[in-house]
Chain A
């Protein structure tokens, strides 16, 4: 069992979940309540990673992060080194890849909050931020947990994007899924099985948590395999 790879995967998944929460909540709020007529275009962009092969996303991310790509050049100017094949590059690519898994459950749960409660909050003197903090957020807890857990689990299990953008550097970009692939390539089936089985158990536990929470919340949440 390659603990280095497992720890790296968990570190990556935690970073990505945290970033997705910070970026996803305001974006989901805007997507849930805005009446902008071109909103659907942004919704489509957010959902893109659901349908694109990870290699397509990874390929364009690699181009963008390369020494001549816009992101790569920006990064180089700021930090003095490239972005491709680094942990930071992996985080950026993974955030994009897991975007719909965080944003869509958030939108779904914001949208199920009764609009009359928002009206009630407004006539009681609360502005948007206070309404969001005191009413929308607490009533969206199941959706927020779903979003966090799905971002975490989806990042933990990603393969194609990591391979394209991160390569296979031990301790930097070699995540569990890459490690399993490596072992199979070198016919170490026993080692592959140990890691694969652990990933299977983790995924099952995570999904059980999501379903359990949704069941307690007593309503349907957005889940990617239900939306597809």
Chain B
């Protein structure tokens, strides 16, 4: 419970900090809208030549784009800013201050930075998703919604563990921020159904960089493509990865000697 209170406190701090730069809101709104426009424009061009894309109907791909923005927003809001700052703090030694605090250090580096403007992406994703679902017809039952949320949470934890493992590498290799660029490039591929891609790329986007778990599988849950086994597997993988990334974090921490001291 105290974790949630901490999270709320960090949220308030960054909200206050950002409200000093109100124009940023409009800049971010403009950029997010542009990004969404790009996605929708691409879809419009492709679907002017076909009715289905690898078995996905236009409104189903629209739902996928909604999930893509929603999850991208969550990563940008909660995961990415903290991890970037953490990598930076290993390099310049300010991680010392985090380690001396009484709360768990992994938790602190995870939640201490939030980029509140990414809420715009989340909101846009939800709106697109809602519009897509409305157009698909009210076939979404309570069960599917629950599976979707569960899949979203599992995917979120998988992505989080993945980022934590990459960021933890900075204890050994000081310059790892470029590795995160790989994630950004690969995440772009999630705008389209992963089932389109040839096997090697599909495996890469599932197990090397887990874009599939974060974007495709939640969208599949909503369009009734997901089997119970996949869901179970995703939840199990999320749990395993959380444990592994925690172990890796502690291993890395033992190597940390503090650059500033």
- The answer to whether A and B come from one shared complex is no
B residues whose Cβ falls under 8 Å from a Cβ of A? none
A residues whose Cβ falls under 8 Å from a Cβ of B? none
